Structure 1
Amino acid sequence: MRYPVTLRLVIGLLPVFAVAAAAGAQQLGAGVGLDNFSLGGMSSQSQQPQSLDKIVAVVNDDVILKSQLNSAVAEIRQRNAAQIGRLPPNVLRSQVLDQLIMRQLQIQKADQDGIKVSNAEIQQGVARIAQRNNMSLQQFTRAVTRSGMRMSDLRDRIRDEIKISKVRQKEVMGKVAVSDQDVDRYLQNQSLRLSRDHEYRLRQIKLNLPADADATTTGVIRDRLERLRRRIISGEIRFADAARSVSQGPHSADGGDRGWVSGATLPDGFDSALAGISAGQISPVFRGPDGLYLLKLEDERGGDSTDDAQKRVMVTEAHIRHIIVKPNEIRNDARTRKLARQIRQRLLAGGDFATLAKKYSDDKGTSRQGGDVGWIALNRLPPDTRRHIENLDEGEISRIFQTDDGYEIVKLIDRRQRDETEQAKRDKVRQTLGRKRASEQGDRWLRKLRDEAYVDIRMPDYQPTSGALGL
């Protein structure tokens, strides 16, 4: 079997947050990470004699070595050879070093918070990466070995990435909340909703503004970006080259290329800047949450069409009664299942469901009501439970099936369709706002983490950048 030269290692283990934390996590990215990770990019560095290694940065109590920086730079070059060809080597190395520093700070924070990663989680990470590369575990292990990397090194890297995911979940995702009032305000603005339903292919240039910047400072920085905009529009310099040279934001090493970005994740100010331009055009200079920005809109897609806006979301609901019997200290699993069979036989013989539920059901929340669960949406039930209910006729008794709670028997009382179009719309808005807030909160958290750290840069020709919040 022929293996690809570069394996795209995508774990995707970030815990699922109620408001789509995954998108927020993308905005939080710091360091090289496992996305688009090139096995070839690390192999040569692992073979370098350690005696030649030097410290290029001290990060609190840890160090970053020259070999680590070389490996990360090689990985970036392999992924983006065409795009970074004109970037001065010291600028690229500086930007990558900044990102390695941010990655190390997140790992340190996870360790300080006592975040642990089990061997089972690491093995799941390896399995997912193998699956994303369309390989079995055995095939993937051989591919890693052939690339020159040790599996132990890969497992260490996966452990670090899971730590970062967990600390982001704790410090950022878990603190994001969206109220009903937030959803109401969002829905009241039709133009904002439409723009947020789009996806944009963007390049960006960002110049930082100090938190306490006065009007004079802001004006000087704005003038600098305005002059650069005029040079780009006149054709004197390409947007991508300008981004590599001066941008202080994420993605500068890639010529400011952010790829396809959901409007839902964009900070305030981006909506109006994008509203007045078409694909291939440059936005006006505008102020974002933490600096001044210039955007190039490469392309856009999506948005609600008339048909989509009128599409109804119908949900099947079932009115059910149930009886659950659970194993306990007196009644083991076998005896519990036997009891469930006896109850079902009595029901099929004409026994009253409510009476038997009151006598035998271990679900204290419904047993007093004769096992009456009320109306419940089938799509919100566990898949196995849903399968046992979907095919029942009204008045029919289900087979006995096992759940996490015990052995369950269900009777279908009635079935109906309910229009959930409005609720589905509100849920989508809640996710949109959650992703945006996770992105903004993540940027603030990373900036605070960096400001409070002790960092000593020892790399020759280091050029300070602020694009350390993610690739």
Structure 2
Amino acid sequence: MKYPFVLSPLAGLLVFVLALPIASAQQLGSAGLGSFSLGGMSSQNQKPQSLDKIVAVVNNDVILKSELDSAVAELKQRNPGEIGQIPPNVLRSQVLDQLIMRQLQIQKANQDGIKVSKAEVQQGLSRIAQRNNMNLQQFTQAVAQSGMDMSQLRQHVRDEIKISKVRQKEVMEKVSISDQDVDRYLQNQSLRFSRNHQYHLRQIKLDLPAGADSTTTGVVRDRLESVRHQITSGKTSFADAARSLSQGSHAADGGDLGWVSGSSLPDSFDSALAGLTAGQISPVFRGPDGLYLLKLEDERGGGNDQSSDDQKKVMVTEAHLRHIILKPNEIRSDARTRKLAQQIRQRLLAGDDFAALARKYSDDKATARQGGDVGWIPLNRLSPDTRRHVENLHKGEISQIFQTHDGYEIIKLIARRQRDETQEAKRNKARETLGRKRASEQGNLWLRKLRDEAYVDIRMPNYQPTPGSP
């Protein structure tokens, strides 16, 4: 069986990250609105321009010098340390590349007829407000006080959601991981979790702020992709590049991490090393606190000697439940529905049969015929409110009436048990790792295809194309 790799259209607004697979999200230009700050969209965007030049033509659209100036200024304001090390003309070229790719994705979304509702824009704004430690009303007032244009911000949010949706349609929905893929991955990776298997690694790390936006991530990634291109083409060595560029703690040693135990590697490193042999260099990938390149110098060690006692077990609490759901409708008002729920609960407490009342009254047609039996459900898959009510119940006990998005619900706890999900969790982790890697690869191909098929006329003076970029 194959499983699609799915990302919510709003996932990009939370960065990253996500639920978005991390590697693919960065390369695809994740929305990054969760990191929005009130200083981010400079008020200079609103100043009239006496003379504005076209710096790029992208199919039937144009990118103006004022847009490029604003994007560069915003990037410098958010990341003064990292961005300050890049020569100005190289920085402007890289930011222009990101603006072009962003425009191409918006154009593709429009061509595909992708729509963004007012409610989705409102949700996006609410998430930005939350990341700025405000409610939506406070955030709206702060935007107005800063001199920013709220309508411009709404359009920015709308465009980012469009990009997220078109990525979902064109890339994520086409990525699937089969059970056989997972089997092969676990077999190939088994040594990586061995206590006595070690890797001699070098790394180049560029810092990236938590929740970095798409422009920041794209510029830093382009810089590291350019370095990778120089290394693989023989223009410089990995060690020399690490000494001059890396912001990791081992930069002075040419990025040499020495021998590292496979069991201590972060998940992102594990994925990047998959399939590498001695002397090879990984793709650019998102790791802890930044973007990374790895070089596998050598590896050593034997088979997997971990005992079952050494492996961390994943235990999940499950509950066997029956429920009754009552939904307000055109005939039965909310007040009458709640009153009926109260009457039913009183009958249950008096000893009436739960299954019989569920068959007669429950509006959940999928379970009503089974007497409201929903079977065994892991508690971590229930909504927070439902989970809280279930956790407070003893075997055979009836819950209080509580409201969900479906209506009014009453639950009976039949039994509770612990189930070992260690192997399932291991397979899920492998599936996510494979999904991130495959989505990154497919995302690169899709972006490159967008650029190759587009008419792009760059008119920026002294533009320098970024090696390795789409």
- TM more than 0.5: yes
Among 243, 263, 268, which residue is 2:269 paired with?
263
Q: 1:454, 1:308 → 2: CA distance?
A: 60
Unaligned runs of 5+ in 2: 1-9, 207-222, 248-265, 285-291, 296-305
| 1:258-314 Cα distance to aligned partner (Å, 9 max, x none) | xx9923663855x546xxxxxxxxxx464869xxxx9467xxxxxxx9999633222
Q: 2:372, 2:61 → 1: CA distance?
A: 59
2:205 is aligned with 1:202: yes
SS in 1 for 2:233: helix
2:400 is aligned with 1:392: no
Q: 1:47, 1:360 → 2: CA distance?
A: 59
Q: 2:397, 2:31 → 1: CA distance?
A: 57
Q: Which residue of 2 aligns with 1:122?
A: 121
Alpha-carbon distance change, 414 to 18 in structure 1, aligned in 2, over 3 angstroms = farther
Deviation at 1:148, TM superposition (A): 5.0
| 1:368-389 Cα distance to aligned partner (Å, 9 max, x none) | 3333333222222222222222
Q: Which residue of 2 aligns with 1:157?
A: 156
State the Cα RMSD in Å. Answer: 4.2
Q: Which residue of 2 aligns with 1:229?
A: 237
AA aligned to 1:263 is F
Q: Which residue of 1 aligns with 2:337?
A: 336
2:350 is aligned with 1:349: yes
2:373 is aligned with 1:372: yes
Deviation at 1:366, TM superposition (A): 3.1
2:408 is aligned with 1:407: yes
Q: Which residue of 1 aligns with 2:53?
A: 54
SS in 1 for 2:162: helix
Q: Which residue of 2 aligns with 1:213?
A: none
AA aligned to 2:103 is Q
Q: Which residue of 1 aligns with 2:168?
A: 169
Of 172-181 and 331-340, more deviation after overlay is shown by 331-340
Deviation at 1:62, TM superposition (A): 0.3
Deviation at 1:208, TM superposition (A): 11
SS in 2 for 1:178: strand
8 Å CA contact 2:43, 2:146 repeated in 1: no
Q: 2:403, 2:173 → 1: CA distance?
A: 33
8 Å CA contact 1:226, 1:285 repeated in 2: no
| 1:404-431 Cα distance to aligned partner (Å, 9 max, x none) | 3343332222222211222222222222
| 1:73-110 Cα distance to aligned partner (Å, 9 max, x none) | 22333344444556443322222211111111011111
SS in 2 for 1:386: helix
8 Å CA contact 1:31, 1:102 repeated in 2: no
Alpha-carbon distance change, 386 to 16 in structure 1, aligned in 2, over 3 angstroms = farther
Deviation at 1:45, TM superposition (A): 4.3
Q: Which residue of 2 aligns with 1:113?
A: 112
Q: Which residue of 1 aligns with 2:466?
A: 465
8 Å CA contact 1:344, 1:409 repeated in 2: yes
Q: 2:364, 2:57 → 1: CA distance?
A: 58
TM-score (norm. length: structure 2) = 0.72
8 Å CA contact 1:322, 1:357 repeated in 2: yes
Alpha-carbon distance change, 433 to 126 in structure 1, aligned in 2, over 3 angstroms = same
Q: 2:323, 2:367 → 1: CA distance?
A: 8
Alpha-carbon distance change, 161 to 468 in structure 1, aligned in 2, over 3 angstroms = farther
Q: Which residue of 1 aligns with 2:71?
A: 72
8 Å CA contact 1:58, 1:457 repeated in 2: yes
AA aligned to 1:108 is Q
TM-score (norm. length: structure 1) = 0.72
Q: 1:459, 1:322 → 2: CA distance?
A: 65
SS in 2 for 1:161: helix
Q: Which residue of 1 aligns with 2:26?
A: 27
Alpha-carbon distance change, 328 to 36 in structure 1, aligned in 2, over 3 angstroms = closer
8 Å CA contact 2:13, 2:34 repeated in 1: no
Q: 1:129, 1:373 → 2: CA distance?
A: 37
Alpha-carbon distance change, 465 to 261 in structure 1, aligned in 2, over 3 angstroms = farther
Alpha-carbon distance change, 33 to 423 in structure 1, aligned in 2, over 3 angstroms = closer
Deviation at 1:55, TM superposition (A): 0.6
AA aligned to 1:95 is Q
Alpha-carbon distance change, 395 to 81 in structure 1, aligned in 2, over 3 angstroms = closer
2:452 is aligned with 1:451: yes
AA aligned to 2:205 is L
SS in 2 for 1:266: helix
AA aligned to 1:182 is D
Q: 1:373, 1:98 → 2: CA distance?
A: 52
SS in 1 for 2:341: helix
Alpha-carbon distance change, 69 to 240 in structure 1, aligned in 2, over 3 angstroms = farther
8 Å CA contact 1:21, 1:173 repeated in 2: no
SS in 2 for 1:63: strand
Q: 2:309, 2:170 → 1: CA distance?
A: 36
8 Å CA contact 1:267, 1:436 repeated in 2: no
8 Å CA contact 2:93, 2:465 repeated in 1: yes
Q: 1:22, 1:287 → 2: CA distance?
A: 18
Unaligned runs of 5+ in 1: 1-10, 210-220, 242-259, 274-283, 298-304
SS in 1 for 2:42: helix
Q: Which residue of 2 aligns with 1:95?
A: 94
Alpha-carbon distance change, 22 to 376 in structure 1, aligned in 2, over 3 angstroms = same
Of 396-405 and 166-175, more deviation after overlay is shown by 396-405
Deviation at 1:449, TM superposition (A): 0.6
Alpha-carbon distance change, 201 to 162 in structure 1, aligned in 2, over 3 angstroms = farther
AA aligned to 1:110 is A
Deviation at 1:154, TM superposition (A): 2.5
Q: 1:354, 1:230 → 2: CA distance?
A: 68
Please tell me whether Structure 1 or Structure 2 has the larger radius of gyration of its CA atoms: 1
Q: Which residue of 2 aligns with 1:3?
A: none
Q: 1:87, 1:272 → 2: CA distance?
A: 32
Q: 2:464, 2:66 → 1: CA distance?
A: 19
Of 26-35 and 406-415, more deviation after overlay is shown by 26-35
